[in-house]
Amino acid sequence: MPATDLDQIVNLCKRRGFVFPSAEIYGGFRSTYDYGPLGATMLRNVREAWIRSMVQLRNDVVLIDAAILGPPAVYEASGHLANFTDPLVDCRNCKQRFRADQLPDSSQCPSCGAKGSFTEARAFNLMFKTFAGPVEGEGSEVFLRPETAQGMFVNFANVLQSTRKRPPFGIAQVGKSFRNEITPGNFVFRTREFEQMELEFFVPPADAPRWYEYWCAERFRWYVELGIPEAMLRLRPHDPDELSHYSAGTSDVEFAYPWGWGELEGIANRTDYDLSQHARHSGEKLDYFDQATNERYRPYVIEPAAGATRAMMAFLLAAYDEDEIGGEARTVLRLHPRLAPYKVAILPLSKKEPLGALAREVAAGLRTRYMVDEDDTQSIGRRYRRQDEIGTPLCVTVDFASLEDRAVTIRDRDSTEQVRVAIDDLPAELVGRLGF
């Protein structure tokens, strides 16, 4: 069964090196996390799986990496300076701050229980501001980007000219974003520093509804293909009063988190709002001339926007399982092989030579293709359990017979079935089992 308690994942992440509280030796820094050896690798795998699906396997999407720092002019045009706000209230009794729109009871403080203690709601801008250059003041203000999207909009003309793409085509980007959330929480679900995977897909205006439906279905399918059961996902269209001012339609791919349904990814028809705003504020032409139809138009944009860190959390929650093998309880992460931090673990029965040397030889032969772990401590049963708990799909045991027959034993994480394979045949066998 998938994890039903967030603490199951939080404890596993800390114990096995997926996620650590940031600056923990100094008491921690609220709502920030460091990704440990396994977490950094898995997060990279999530990013690469997204890029593979959205860019590598398509001929109509290109990848960019835009700057994190941006001048105020960009965010004035985008509307972030004026509109990127949440309603903030303070409890006069305990001095805690809350988002007014997320209070379970607008008349009672969830922290201290005081009634009627909230201040009037006021708009709180979520952007982080800093200064560029040696002097702070007017003219040196810059902002940390609150989303990766604006870097793609302001580079629309550059990409159009340099790649010679024509609508429908997309610009994709993966990178850090920063929002000064009033109430971060639920582990890495909502943090002030996070990683986004966004696509801006530029289409002729008349085709926007069709492409919107296409990307809603495509993004839902991606999560299912990477191992999240359909029962733990749903596609929820926004009600009219939920829509952003620029949106002609938005749907969320939602995941069944332990605390209830929550957003995993949003897909929006942003119309031509962004290109029109940047064209008006910059004075540059941000449109497209179609020579085939002799028509000039400003493309509409369909935007699938996902959080890499949030997606990683959902994959962990969905993959978590507890079962029993030979009368012994085990915890196992049934991660899709593309997402697992290690694809293969090499486990020699003894660290002594020449068995250790053969195990290192086998591992070296696989490292050019896969992330490989070598583990020669404790009993083989304990090592299997350790690899099960971190999601390694396959273990390769090098035993004393391997010195004679040049063969090893492959153990499958999910079925625990074992099969003997010649070392020379091992790479092909792993490709067949992992799928890549």
- Is 112 within a domain? no
379 and 423 fall within a common domain? yes
Of 277, 298, 316, the residue at which a domain comes to its end is 316
CA atoms of 211 and 301, how far apart (whole Å): 9
The alpha helices in 29-103, defined as continuous H runs, are: 37-51, 72-78, 80-83
Let me know whether 155 and 247 are in one domain. Answer: yes
Domain-located, residue 163: yes
Query: Does residue 108 belong to any structural domain of this protein?
Result: no
What is the number of domains present in the chain? 2
**Is the residue at 83 inside a domain?**
no
**In a shared domain, residues 284 and 391:** no
Same domain assignment for residues 369 and 310 = no
Q: Does residue 44 lie in a domain region?
A: yes
Residues 282 and 366 in one domain: no
Verify that 349 and 386 share a domain, yes or no: yes
Q: Give alpha helix (H) positions in 79-225.
A: 80-83, 149-154, 156-163, 208-225
Its domain, for residue 383, covers 342-434
- Which of these, 155, 134, 126, lies nearest to 64 by C-alpha position? 155
Ramachandran assignment for 185, one of left (phi > 0), alpha (psi -120 to 50 degrees), beta (any other): left
On whether residue 99 sits in a domain, the answer given is no
On the CB side of 194, CA atoms within 13 Å amount to: 26
Cα–Cα distance measured from residue 382 to residue 236, given in angstroms and rounded to the nearest whole number = 43
| Separation between Cα atoms, residue 340 and residue 306, nearest integer Å | 19
Domain boundary among 298, 316, 334: 316
- Backbone torsions φ then ψ of 107, nearest 5 degrees: -105, -5
62 C-beta neighbours (distance < 10 Å), count:
16
Task: Identify which of 312, 329, 335 has the alpha carbon closest to the alpha carbon of residue 394.
Answer: 335
- pTM score, whole prediction: 0.91
212/196 Cα distance (integer angstroms): 20
53 and 177 share a domain?
Answer: yes
DSSP labels for 252-288?
Answer: EEEEEETTEEEEEEEEEE-TTHHHHHHHHHH-----E
Q: Which of 51, 317, 47, 84 is nearest to 189 (CA)?
A: 317
* Coil vs helix vs strand at 385: helix
- The closest alpha carbon to 421, from 371, 411, 345, belongs to 411
For residue 109, the model assigns a pLDDT of 94
Say if residue 375 is in the same domain as residue 235. no
Residue type, position 225, single letter: E
Give the CA dihedral 112, 116, 118, 123, nearest 10 degrees: 140
Q: Is 257 among the domain residues?
A: yes
- Look at residue 133 in the predicted model and tell me its pLDDT: 83
Same structural domain, 381 and 245 = no
Angle at 209 between CA 206 and CA 213, to 5 degrees: 150
Q: What is the CATH number of the domain that holds 397?
A: 3.40.50.800
Which tokens hold the place of 375?
């583990």
Q: Are residues 153 and 264 in the same domain?
A: yes
Query: Do 27 and 64 have their domain in common?
Result: yes
Residue that finishes a domain, picked among 316, 351, 366 = 316
Q: Read out DSSP for 115-127?
A: BS-BPPPEEEE--
Residues 308 and 361 in one domain: no
Task: Give the separation between CA 68 and CA 370, rounded to whole angstroms.
Answer: 31
* Residue 320 to residue 332: CA distance in whole angstroms: 6
As to burial, measured by CB atoms within 10 angstroms (0-12 exposed, 13-18 middle, 19+ buried), residue 146 is buried
Give per-residue burial for 385-423: e unless 16+ CB within 10 Å, then b. Answer: bbbbbbbbbbbbbbbeebeeeebbbbbebeeeeeeeeeb
Give the distance from CA 45 to its chain's centroid: 10
Task: Give the domain CATH number at 195.
Answer: 3.30.930.10
Q: Is residue 131 part of a domain?
A: no
Please give the pLDDT value at position 138: 67
Report the C-alpha gap between 25 and 155 in whole angstroms. Answer: 42
How do the pLDDT tens digits run along the chain, 436 residues long? 677 788 899 999 999 999 999 999 999 888 899 999 999 999 999 999 999 999 999 999 999 999 999 999 999 999 898 888 889 999 999 988 898 988 989 889 999 999 999 999 988 888 999 999 887 766 789 999 999 999 999 999 999 999 999 999 999 999 999 999 887 888 989 899 999 999 999 999 999 999 999 999 999 999 999 999 999 999 999 999 888 888 999 999 999 999 999 999 999 999 999 999 999 999 999 999 999 899 999 999 999 999 999 999 999 999 999 998 888 889 999 999 999 999 999 999 998 999 999 999 999 999 999 999 999 999 999 999 999 999 999 999 999 999 999 999 999 999 999 999 999 999 999 999 999 9
Report pLDDT for 140: 85
